[in-house]
Amino acid sequence: MLPMRPELLKGHLDTLLLAVLEDGPQHGYAVIETLRAGSSGALDLPTGTVYPALHRLERAGLIASDWETVGGRRRRAYRLTTSGQAALDDQRAVWEQFSAAVTAILGRRAWPATT
């Protein structure tokens, strides 16, 4: 699968990062790996995109972070806050509506999509 350019994800990156952290705390590079593995390589985002976005989400109070020591190695783990979970739920609903509408146009299917 072809990797997507970061600019294509504009507007969706925050939601993707929140979704990755929904299953539990992760450090920055693990977030990059999860996005890559979860999308079969399509979301192979650079360090310069993911780390600053995590910092911005933390500034917005949607995620929080703490230093932890794992195997003698110090790392910063990010976790979803209550506000982050609420924002993710909202964005998920928006995305489902948006993707159904776009798919209806691109795929020429009826909208709203029925499953």
Q: Does residue 27 belong to the site contacting another protein (CB under 8 A)?
A: yes
Q: Does residue 72 belong to the site contacting another protein (CB under 8 A)?
A: no
Q: Does residue 29 belong to the site contacting another protein (CB under 8 A)?
A: yes
Backbone φ, ψ for residue 43 (5° rounding): -100, 70
Query: Applying CB under 8 A, which part among 16-24, 44-52, 97-105, 106-114 lies near another protein?
Result: 44-52
Question: 18: part of which helix (H) or strand (E)?
Answer: helix 13-21
Question: 91: part of which helix (H) or strand (E)?
Answer: helix 82-106
Pick one of 1, 5, 24, 72: the residue that binds another protein (CB under 8 A).
5
Sheet holding 63-70, edge to edge: 26-27, 73-80, 63-70
CB 24 within 8 Å of CB 79: yes
Query: Applying CB under 8 A, which part among 17-25, 53-61, 96-104, 106-114 lies near another protein?
Result: 53-61
Pick one of 37, 38, 42, 61: the residue that binds another protein (CB under 8 A).
61
CA distances from 71 to 55, 75, 77 (A): 24, 10, 14
Nearer to another protein, 10 or 108 (CB): 10
Residues contributing to the site for another protein (CB under 8 A): 5-7, 27-30, 32-33, 46-49, 51-52, 55-56, 59-62, 73-76, 83, 87
